[in-house]
């Protein structure tokens, strides 16, 4: 079996997603890019039970190259991210409570905090709704990501974060979930103050530098 270390990494980030309350039970999925396509967690398997050999290898046309388990219908979203942004090496699809509230209300989360702009990007937009598993979900998601954000909400569903590593994609997921909560409290206090335009410009540049690596 190839990619033992990479398969273990995918398993570890699946467990971290669950243990960090970014999802429940078997919802969501974690993948990382490999030269053949991607390695992705299998459908309907509890994260703490997924072994490296259970991780599926798929090409970017959606074919399973290695593995016995069923791929999640959401594998199309992961493939779309790898095709859309060539720097992306890791994708995390999660169902966090606060982020999913924004996804359900279809309210974007603006870049209202310093570090948010550097790591997450301009804002977390909400992809147009399409039924789970359809090609439109993937297409709408990458449109919402654009070139200036590492996170987007799936309308009435959850969240997708991307990064140059799975570590980066996980940091973005945790940062967005925390910012979503902070934003709600900030709204109770009268709403966030505007960041000065020169600061926003600086964060935009830093984001693109990080993105390019
Ligand atoms: Zn999902």
CA of 74 to the centre of ligand 1 (A): 7
Q: Domain holding 94: CATH number?
A: 3.40.225.10
What's 89's DSSP letter? -
Q: Tally the domains of the chain.
A: 1
CB count within 10 Å of CB 72 equals 24
- For residue 18, the model assigns a pLDDT of 98
Question: pLDDT by residue (tens digit) across 164-189?
Answer: 999 999 999 999 999 999 999 999 99
The answer to whether residue 199 scores a pLDDT higher than 80 is yes
Instruction: Please say whether the beta carbons of 55 and 42 come within 8 A.
Output: yes
Quickly state the pLDDT bin for 213 (edges 50, 70, 90). Answer: confident
CA of 160 to the centre of ligand 1 (A): 9
- For residue 28, the model assigns a pLDDT of 96
Rounded mean pLDDT, 111-140: 94
Q: Find the DSSP H helices in the chain.
A: 4-19, 75-84, 97-105, 114-119, 135-145, 166-188, 197-212
Tell me the pairing of strands 151-154 and 158-163: antiparallel
Whose tokens are 């593995």? That residue is: 67
CA of 103 to the centre of ligand 1 (A): 12
- For residue 132, the model assigns a pLDDT of 87
What's 156's DSSP letter? T
Distance of CA 78 to the CA centre of its chain: 9
Whose tokens are 């790591």? That residue is: 119
The answer to whether residue 1 scores a pLDDT higher than 80 is no
CA of 32 to the centre of ligand 1 (A): 17
Question: pLDDT by residue (tens digit) across 36-85?
Answer: 999 999 999 999 999 999 999 999 999 999 999 988 889 999 999 999 99
Residue 181 and residue 144: Cα distance in Å, rounded? 21
Quickly state the pLDDT bin for 210 (edges 50, 70, 90). Answer: confident
The answer to whether residue 211 scores a pLDDT higher than 90 is no
Quickly state the pLDDT bin for 162 (edges 50, 70, 90). Answer: very high
Q: Does the annotation mark 74 as catalytic?
A: yes
- Residues with CB under 5 Å of ion ligand 1 are 158
Q: Which among 21, 58, 12, 22 is positioned nearest to 39, based on CA atoms? A: 58
The domain of 80 spans 4-212
CA of 158 to the centre of ligand 1 (A): 6
Supply the mean pLDDT for the chain. Answer: 96
Catalytic residue among 6, 9, 16, 74: 74
Residue 74 and residue 91: Cα distance in Å, rounded? 11
Question: pLDDT by residue (tens digit) across 90-101?
Answer: 999 999 999 999
Quickly state the pLDDT bin for 121 (edges 50, 70, 90). Answer: very high
Whose tokens are 């301009």? That residue is: 122
Whose tokens are 């459908």? That residue is: 43
Quickly state the pLDDT bin for 133 (edges 50, 70, 90). Answer: confident
């Amino acid at each position: 079996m190839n990619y033992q270390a990479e398969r273990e990494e995918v398993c570890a980030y699946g467990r971290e997603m669950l243990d960090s309350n970014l999802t429940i039970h078997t919802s969501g999925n974690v993948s990382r890019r490999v030269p053949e396509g991607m390695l992705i967690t299998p459908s309907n398997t509890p994260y703490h039970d997924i072994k490296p050999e259970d991780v599926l290898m798929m090409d970017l046309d959606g074919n399973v190259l290695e593995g016995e388990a069923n791929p999640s219908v959401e594998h199309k979203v992961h493939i779309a991210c790898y095709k859309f942004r060539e720097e992306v090496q890791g994708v995390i699809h999660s169902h966090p409570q606060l982020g999913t509230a924004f996804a359900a209300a279809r309210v974007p989360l603006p870049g209202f905090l310093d570090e948010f702009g550097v790591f997450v990007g301009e804002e977390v937009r909400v992809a147009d709704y399409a039924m789970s598993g359809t090609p439109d979900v993937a297409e709408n998601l990458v449109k919402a990501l654009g070139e200036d954000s590492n996170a987007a909400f799936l309308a009435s569903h959850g969240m997708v974060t991307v990064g140059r590593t799975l570590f980066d994609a996980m940091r973005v997921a945790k940062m967005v979930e925390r910012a979503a909560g902070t934003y709600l409290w900030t709204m109770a206090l009268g709403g966030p103050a505007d960041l000065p335009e020169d600061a926003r410009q600086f964060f935009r540049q830093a984001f693109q530098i990080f993105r390019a690596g």
